[in-house]
Amino acid sequence: MKLNIVPARTGITWVKLGIQTFLKQPLALAGLFFMYMAAATLASLIPYIGVVLALAIVPAATLGLMAATQEATKGKFPMPAILVSAFRAGQQRARAMLVLGFLYAAACLLIVSIVPLFLDVPVSRESALAPEMQGVMLVVMLMYLPVSVLFWHAPALVHWHGVTPVKSLFFSAVVCFKNAGAYTLFGLAWMVVLVVVGLVVSMLAGMLASPEAAAALVMPAALLMAAMFSTSIYFTFTGSFDATPPDDTDGNVITPGDTP
d(CA 129, CA 73): 41
- pLDDT of 130 over the 90 cut: no
As a whole number, mean pLDDT of residues 228-253 equals 78
SS3 label, residue 173: helix
Confidence of residue 260 (pLDDT cuts 50, 70, 90): very low
d(CA 249, CA 78): 9
Burial class for 34, CB neighbours closer than 10 Å (0-12, 13-18, 19+): middle
Condensed to tens digits (0 to 9), the pLDDT of residues 61-97 reads: 999 999 999 999 999 999 999 999 998 888 889 999 9
Tell me if 152 sits within 8 A of 172, measured CB to CB. yes
d(CA 41, CA 33): 12
CB atoms within 10 A of CB 84: 15
Q: Nearest-5° angle of CA 221, CA 222, CA 225? A: 85
Condensed to tens digits (0 to 9), the pLDDT of residues 26-55 reads: 999 999 999 999 999 999 999 989 999 999
Confidence of residue 115 (pLDDT cuts 50, 70, 90): confident
Predicted model pTM: 0.86
